[in-house]
Amino acid sequence: MNDSILTLTGLTRDFGAFRAVDGVSLFIRRGSITGLIGPNGAGKTTLFNMVAGTLKPTSGTVALDGKDVTGRSAEALFRMGLARTFQIPRPFKRMSVIDNLLLAPPAQIGESVPGALFRRGRVAEQERALREKAQEILEFVTLDHLAEHPAGKISGGQMKLLELGRALMGDPTVILLDEPAAGVNPTLTAILIDRIEELNRRGMTFVIIEHDMDFVMRHCDPVIALAEGKVLFEGTAEEARVNPELLDAYLGAPA
């Protein structure tokens, strides 16, 4: 199964007596845009948290690119090319928007103490390149005019955009997006999707939790649905649209 970039086996997470994720086994196809849907509280975010190393699984394993990474820390996973965004944005509030972005790229020379102290030239060079890239991403998420603004003082939707921009800065190979479109203006969402598809064509794998069905149906393949911590459905968007269980538990009415 060498086209699987992420392989989850029997992933389970308990909060006290409550089982939020219950033995989820999945594989995410390399180069796909996988949609993850499911009712509120189904365990989607918890699943992301376990895959990205933010939460430790109670049991089960995660393999990234064929390597078992269960229980690895979030920072290690990010450096291995796995980025994620938070459903409830977590900007570094007292840093400027652009600094939020500049933070992300791994392997910055100036991030080690000797590098920062003694390799001024190389650091400045790298900074310049990163700054350019950050500027570009900011333009793309329409935050360029707020580059020097404290990230704690932007609108709720702008914070979501910042989340996305930050994750993209790291040039990840897999990126987990937790409701990237919630709170984002539809016009902008359309632009974001274009960009995501472009990045996807260049080989970036996306796993996207989203409640916006237009988004999921048009752009995600495959679609996976969770409910009560278990995989309820796996298939194409077309199949999802007509799946009776999904309709009942999640969509409510035919979309």
- Catalog residues that contact ligand ATP under the rule CB under 6 A: 15, 18, 20, 38, 40-46, 87, 146, 149, 153-158, 183
Q: What angle do CA 214, 217, 221 make, to 5 degrees?
A: 145
Spatial neighbors of 134 by CB under 8 A, at least 6 apart, are 98, 101, 102, 165, 169
- For residue 51, the partner it binds in Mg ion, another protein, ligand ATP, none, with Cβ less than 5 to 8 A by kind, is none
> Of residues 53-112, which lie at the interface with Mg ion (CB under 5 A)?
87
The strands making up 67-68's β-sheet, listed across from edge to edge, are 18-29, 4-15, 59-64, 67-68
Identified binder of Mg ion from the candidate list 7, 32, 34, 45, rule CB under 5 A: 45
Residue 96 is given by DSSP the state B
Minimum CB separation of residue 95 from ligand ATP in Å reads: 15
Element (H, E) at 97: helix 97-102
Identified binder of another protein from the candidate list 183, 200, 228, 230, rule CB under 8 A: 183
> Per CB under 8 A, does 91 bind another protein?
yes
Q: Which residue is nearest to ligand ATP (CB)?
A: 157
Cβ contact 192:215 at 8 Å: no
Determine the Cα–Cα distance for residues 179 and 177; give it in Å rounded to an integer: 6
Minimum CB separation of residue 190 from another protein in Å reads: 5
Identified binder of another protein from the candidate list 61, 133, 190, 234, rule CB under 8 A: 190
Establish whether the linkage from the previous residue to 106 is cis, with ω within 30° of 0. no
> Of residues 12-71, which lie at the interface with another protein (CB under 8 A)?
15, 37-42, 44-46, 52-54
Q: Residue 123 or residue 199: which is nearer to another protein going by CB?
A: 123
First to last CA, the chain: 34
Q: Residue 134 or residue 180: which is nearer to Mg ion going by CB?
A: 180
Residues near Mg ion, by CB under 5 A: 45, 87, 155-156
